[in-house]
Structure 1
Amino acid sequence: MSQRQKFLAQLLSAQNSSNLDFAALVNLLLFLGFEQRIRGSHHLFTKTVIEEIINLQPANGSSVKPYQAKQVRAVLLKYHSTLGLETI
């Protein structure tokens, strides 16, 4: 199992939302084809086939805020087949 697969499994498991690595989440979203814009501390991710805009801010510089991890999890589960998560 690759690092990306392990991180995706950890993100989708909903157990450790407070200990997720911010850089790993950014890399996962970029791998999935999201476009990133940075406005100050806000990292905005968009994709043409997805209605929602994902807005992330690092907590303590290196981890993901739990409520933002929950929002990303919801988007990934909603668009699971569109994003091709089966191939990761």
Structure 2
Amino acid sequence: MSKAEKLAAKILSGRSDRNFDFDDLCYILKRAGFQSRARGGSHRIYYKDGVVEIINIQPRNGNAKPYQVKQVRELLLKYKIEIE
């Protein structure tokens, strides 16, 4: 199982929202075809053609914020986005 597959399973399970590494969340978004818009500071904004919502994330002590992990999961499921 590849790193992307393991992380996809972890995010889709919904059991690790509080303990999801920020860099891993960024990796998942990139593998799902999202593009990053440059932004100052720790904020990162991701967007994808065909997805109305944008994703604005920032780390807290190296981890992604739980509500942001949930937002990413909901978008992946809503738009049936595959992690490649």
TM-score, normalised by the number of residues in structure 1: 0.86
Query: Which letter maps to 1:75?
Result: L
Q: How does 1:8-87 map to 2 (within 5 A)?
A: 8-39=8-39, 40-60=41-61, 62-80=62-80, 83=81, 85=82
Q: Considering only aligned residues, what root-mean-square deviation do their CA atoms show, in Å?
A: 1.3
List gaps (5 residues or longer) in structure 1: none
Separation in 2 of the partners of 1:3 and 1:30? 13
Give the ranges of 4+ consecutive aligned residues of structure 1 lying more than 2 Å apart after TM superposition: none
Answer whether contact 2:4 2:31 (CA < 8 A) is retained: no
Query: How many residue pairs get matched?
Result: 83
Q: Distance in 1 between matches of 2:71 and 2:28?
A: 15
Where structure 2 has 5 or more consecutive residues not aligned to the other structure, the ranges are none
